[in-house]
Amino acid sequence: MADESTPELKYETLKQSDLDERKSTAELVTNILSERRTRCNVYIFKHPYFISGFIPLMSIFLYTYKDHFRDQLGSMILFSSGVTMAYLLLWSRSSEYFDTQTKLWAESNKDASFPDSNVIVAKYGDRIIGAISLSEKSKNSALINFWVVLRPYRNAGLGKDLLKLALDSMKQNEVNSVSLSIISPLEQPAEHILRKNGFASTLTSNLPSKVLTAIGIRNVEMSCKLN
């Protein structure tokens, strides 16, 4: 016998009149977009370019002040921490692009109307935990505006299910192709799902940051033929 207290997972297509659900969806998308800068910083701090600069910097610092460590240990620890934080901050500034993009998206979608968009959400009980939005790009093509799943519910097939529902709805509307943009390699799990569902890269472009370009973070446009 099913536990009545366990929320039900369901998928719904939102109507224009579903204002509360649309606002919740907009908040979900904004929150998930804001995670990209954190993922970018983690990627940066693990990159060989970052490490190859940090190790020589600290080696120079330790060698320069080696005579002061015995009698000024506390000050030297604080000083070295400051040098480390300054180095981290210098690199992390290159990821400010993602904060700017998140703010622009939130501002342009603050009314949560998503006009001319087909929005499908995954709901766990009354809580929206995932969403995908498609709009017509031209007569026979569509664009995925966003495709997100809340962190605790990832790797459970929700993203794949949302994508399948969205593609099926486009096929019913006789749409021939669907496209979207992702940030590679920060959104590698999404890219893996897309490729398994017939998507292929059509264009790769640099982001407006020389540092991000140097370490291989790029915008990738992908598309899929439906018919």
Least confident stretch, 10-19, 152-161, 202-211: 10-19
Query: Which tens digit of pLDDT belongs to each residue from 64-114?
Result: 777 776 777 777 777 778 778 888 888 888 899 999 999 999 998 877 777
Q: How many domains does the chain have?
A: 2
Query: Do 99 and 125 sit in the same domain of this protein?
Result: no
State the amino acid at position 20 in one-letter form.
D
What is the token pair recorded at 94? 């290159």
Least confident stretch, 11-20, 29-38, 177-186, 217-226: 11-20
Crossing angle, helix 19-33 and helix 96-108, to 10 degrees?
A: 170
Owner of token pair 């536990």: 3
Query: Do 52 and 71 sit in the same domain of this protein?
Result: yes
Crossing angle, helix 35-46 and helix 73-92, to 10 degrees?
A: 120
Q: How far apart are CA 219 and CA 201, in angstroms?
A: 10
Structural domain containing residue 91: 37-108
Query: Do 98 and 187 sit in the same domain of this protein?
Result: no
Query: Do 216 and 125 sit in the same domain of this protein?
Result: yes
State the amino acid at position 177 in one-letter form.
S
State the amino acid at position 223 in one-letter form.
S
pTM: 0.82
Q: Is 203 helix (H, G, I), strand (E, B) or coil?
A: strand
CATH number of the domain enclosing 135: 3.40.630.30
4 or 58, which is more confident? 58
